[in-house]
Amino acid sequence: MTTSVHSDITTRLEWLNLQAHFPDVATGHLRGYFDGDPARGGDLTVTAGDLFIDYSLNRIDRRTLRLLTELASAVGIEEYRDRMLDGAPVNTTENRAVLHTALRLPPEMELLVDGRSVVPDVHRVLGRMGDFTDRLRNGQWRGATGQRITTVVNIGIGGSDLGPRMACQALRNFTHPDIRVKFVSNVDPADLLGTLDGIDPATTLFIVASKTFTTIETLTNATAARSWITAQLGDQAVPQHFVAVSTNAVEVAKFGIDPTNMFEFWDWVGGRYSISSAIGLPVMVAIGREAFGEFLSGMHTIDRHFAEAPLEANAPVILGLLGFWYSNFFGAETRAVLPYANDLARFPAYLQQLAMESNGKAVQTNGEPVDTSTSAIWWGEPGTNGQHAFYQLLHQGTRLVPTDFIGFAEPAEDLLTIDGDGSMHDILISNLLAQRRVLAFGRTSDEITAHGVPTDLVPHKVMPGNRPSTTILAPKLTPNTLGQMIALYEHQVFTEGALTNINSFDQWGVELGKEQALQLHSVVSGRTSAAGLDSSTASIVEWYQSTRPDKS
């Protein structure tokens, strides 16, 4: 197995330079930076496609970014990026190429994997998805009773759920008026039952989405959904009510879904990077094939920027370098993403899988333990809701939480304010601006005292500021700009993974839990004994079995 980029980053001269530089920055304050460098605000920005990114409110000075890019360059990040984009097997533990970017290539481009151009395959499947989508949306595709399909339920989990679910919500204003798209992921029966409650099997179609088609949650839910359909419509109804998205045609056929109703993708598409593959089918159904094309083209715009822009003007690289900086020099444990767009409510959850399943690792590509910190814990909620819940900690707590604010110039819809004098969207954006400003600049005890606040209250009201944030802006939340934002974060995650020299594209850490769940299912259901289990697990199994009502 070859190493992806480098090893022993902490022994490099470029790392030592950053270490020597860090104390200057650690003792600096964003107030001081802005006072001493009035042009900083407009200068520390980068444009990528339609995205305008302001990173001036970060704990860096102009030298920091140069030193960080020198480090990135020294470890060969550009070569590693190019190898990924060219289809080299950079997922070394699975010996696979990592080519989600190929899913967004225009048809006239060529990219060879094992001597075969993958672009025609990508467009063949996109064409099939488009034809299916058209038939569903124009009512040609009928259910077993001859009725139009009005509800599409995607059954999938992880990468086969989070992306399409997030995107369908984000693009609410672009969706077909007569088709609702729903999602079931959890093996908790409450999820499936809650989703099916009140919907009619005769007008419902299921997309069973699973890269491997062996994921227990998805197959269990799909089997229950099939029973729900056949109980009311008969066995012969399955072909009209089930389609599959997978890389595993054999398992799809075993499940009973007609291979002609399967939309394929390939092992060089990682689950958490799969929204631009056939896994995006529910999004295409919701917004239509042309708009889905716009979504892919937004991603491609950022892919090209990532491939071509010099490191110091490369938006995802800059964001990745900042993440690395906070994790490794400031010791930041978490990272917040706060979209000032209610429709992006699931974006932080989507990014959690993207970032944490990719980079939540402690072993370098050569099998040695990492000598750096890897992924932060990503979390977030839409503004302004979070302001009334957890922002207190962001402003005055003891932890440093680098934050991404996301905002749009034009809302999908707007309403007047209560006094009829302004726009609700203007209030939303004013809040975004206020929060990033207060986080950065705070309020000093002198300023508070000047407002006549009693002395004993002053320390409680001090806002320390110097809390970093990055602001990502786009003209409007559309399929195209959503695609741009997704690709921005994908490549940012790549950058952090490359710097820490881990394989961002495998996920061995999720396997053991799956394996043990299968074994424990047999114990929990009473088919095998609890003998040999640790005493804590055995006692909970005993409690569960004696406490749950008789299943029969």
Ligand X SMILES: O=P(O)(O)OC[C@H]1O[C@H](O)[C@H](O)[C@@H](O)[C@@H]1O
The position carrying tokens 């006239």 is 108
> Which of residues 185 and 466 has its CB atom nearest to ligand X in the complex?
185
Q: How far is the CB of 96 from ligand X (least distance, A)?
A: 13
Please list, in sequence order, all residues whose beta carbon lies within 8 angstroms of the beta carbon of residue 350, skipping any fewer than 6 positions away.
Answer: 162, 163, 165, 166, 486
Q: How far is the CB of 279 from ligand X (least distance, A)?
A: 8
Residue 466, interface with ligand X (CB under 6 A)? no
**Interacting residues with ligand X between 225 and 284 (CB under 6 A):** 271-272
Q: How far is the CB of 132 from ligand X (least distance, A)?
A: 19
Residue 510, interface with ligand X (CB under 6 A)? yes
> Which of residues 25 and 162 has its CB atom nearest to ligand X in the complex?
162
Q: How far is the CB of 500 from ligand X (least distance, A)?
A: 19
Residue 503, interface with ligand X (CB under 6 A)? no
Binder to ligand X among 157, 238, 262, 472 (CB under 6 A)? 157
In sequence order, what E strands does 1-136 have?
45-48, 51-54, 112-113, 116-117
> Which of residues 157 and 244 has its CB atom nearest to ligand X in the complex?
157
> Which of residues 210 and 301 has its CB atom nearest to ligand X in the complex?
210
Binding flags for ligand X, 345-374, as an x/- string (CB under 6 A): ------------x-----------------
Residue 186, interface with ligand X (CB under 6 A)? no
- From the list 70, 217, 294, 357, the catalytic residue is 357
Helix or strand or coil: residue 409? strand
Binder to ligand X among 158, 320, 382, 479 (CB under 6 A)? 158
Residue 215, interface with ligand X (CB under 6 A)? yes
Q: How far is the CB of 159 from ligand X (least distance, A)?
A: 3
Give me the residues paired with residue 181 across strands: 152
Candidate segments 211-219, 286-294, 425-433, 443-451, binder of ligand X by CB under 6 A: 211-219
> Which of residues 154 and 471 has its CB atom nearest to ligand X in the complex?
154
Q: How far is the CB of 232 from ligand X (least distance, A)?
A: 27
Is 388 a known active-site residue? yes
Check whether the bond before 384 is cis (ω within 30° of 0).
yes
Residues 296 and 277: their CA atoms lie apart, in Å, by 9
Candidate segments 130-138, 151-159, 185-193, 544-552, binder of ligand X by CB under 6 A: 151-159
Is 333 a known active-site residue? no
Residue 204, interface with ligand X (CB under 6 A)? no
Long-range contacts of 525-532 (CB under 8 A, 24+ apart): none
Which amino acid, 21? H
Residues 302 and 309: their CA atoms lie apart, in Å, by 10
Q: How far is the CB of 157 from ligand X (least distance, A)?
A: 5
Please list, in sequence order, all residues whose beta carbon lies within 8 angstroms of the beta carbon of residue 237, skipping any fewer than 6 positions away.
Answer: 143, 144, 201, 229, 230
Candidate segments 52-60, 158-166, 329-337, 432-440, binder of ligand X by CB under 6 A: 158-166
Residues 224 and 363: their CA atoms lie apart, in Å, by 39
Copy the structure tokens of residue 200: 């009619």
> Which of residues 270 and 293 has its CB atom nearest to ligand X in the complex?
270
Helix, strand, coil percent content, the chain, rounded in steps of 5: 55, 15, 35
Q: How far is the CB of 319 from ligand X (least distance, A)?
A: 22
Candidate segments 188-196, 210-218, 471-479, 523-531, binder of ligand X by CB under 6 A: 210-218
Residue 160, interface with ligand X (CB under 6 A)? yes
Residue 212, interface with ligand X (CB under 6 A)? yes
Binder to ligand X among 150, 175, 204, 210 (CB under 6 A)? 210
Copy the structure tokens of residue 338: 């706060």
> Which of residues 157 and 318 has its CB atom nearest to ligand X in the complex?
157
Cβ–Cβ < 8 Å for 495, 320: yes
DSSP state of 463: B
Long-range contacts of 98-101 (CB under 8 A, 24+ apart): 98/268, 98/270, 98/273, 98/505, 99/266, 99/268, 99/269, 100/269, 100/270, 100/273, 100/274, 100/276, 100/277, 100/490, 101/299, 101/300, 101/303
How distant is the alpha carbon of residue 19 from its chain centre?
Answer: 31
Which amino acid, 220? T
Q: How far is the CB of 378 from ligand X (least distance, A)?
A: 15
Which amino acid, 202? A
Is 217 a known active-site residue? no
- From the list 110, 333, 514, 542, the catalytic residue is 514
Residues 386 and 408: their CA atoms lie apart, in Å, by 18
How distant is the alpha carbon of residue 116 from its chain centre?
Answer: 30
Residue 100, interface with ligand X (CB under 6 A)? no
Residues 363 and 502: their CA atoms lie apart, in Å, by 6
Residue 211, interface with ligand X (CB under 6 A)? yes
Residues 153 and 243: their CA atoms lie apart, in Å, by 10
- From the list 388, 451, 460, 551, the catalytic residue is 388
Binder to ligand X among 150, 218, 261, 301 (CB under 6 A)? 218
Residue 497, interface with ligand X (CB under 6 A)? no
Number of residues that bind ligand X (CB under 6 A): 14
| Residues annotated as part of the active site | 357, 388, 514
Positions touching ligand X (CB under 6 A) are: 157-160, 210-212, 215, 218, 271-272, 357, 507, 510
